[in-house]
Amino acid sequence: MGTWNATIFGNDASCDTKDEFFTRYNRGEDIKDDLLSEIDGDDRFNVMFSLAHCMWEVGMLDDDFLSEVEAAIQSEKDLALAEELGADEKFLRQRRAHLAKFLDKISVKRA
């Protein structure tokens, strides 16, 4: 997993998910279930957050998935995993702040 910053799209898995989402979206294909079924191991939160952001962008983010994302962020399991993988305190503080802003952003219904 390549990570270069603490933002939602600051890693390879999130960027790959975003690319795959919009490729499938533009083709009119099923997206959420397929991409979520591909979540595994160390990238699971990156994929989940990226997918939620993309779904929010196009007005497809449903309340159930938003609740899952909110629970994942509030549990701080993403931060614990990042720490296990060697993230330092500075990265963890930045990630926590980015996740809070992200959740605020996607929690607002698009008009």
Residue with tokens 């990226």: 50
How far apart CA 110 and CA 94 sit, in angstroms, is 26
Q: How far apart are the first and last CA of the chain?
A: 35
Mean pLDDT of 51-68: 95
**35-52 pLDDT tens trace:** 777 676 788 899 999 999
**67-100 pLDDT tens trace:** 999 999 999 999 999 999 899 999 999 999 999 9
pTM: 0.88
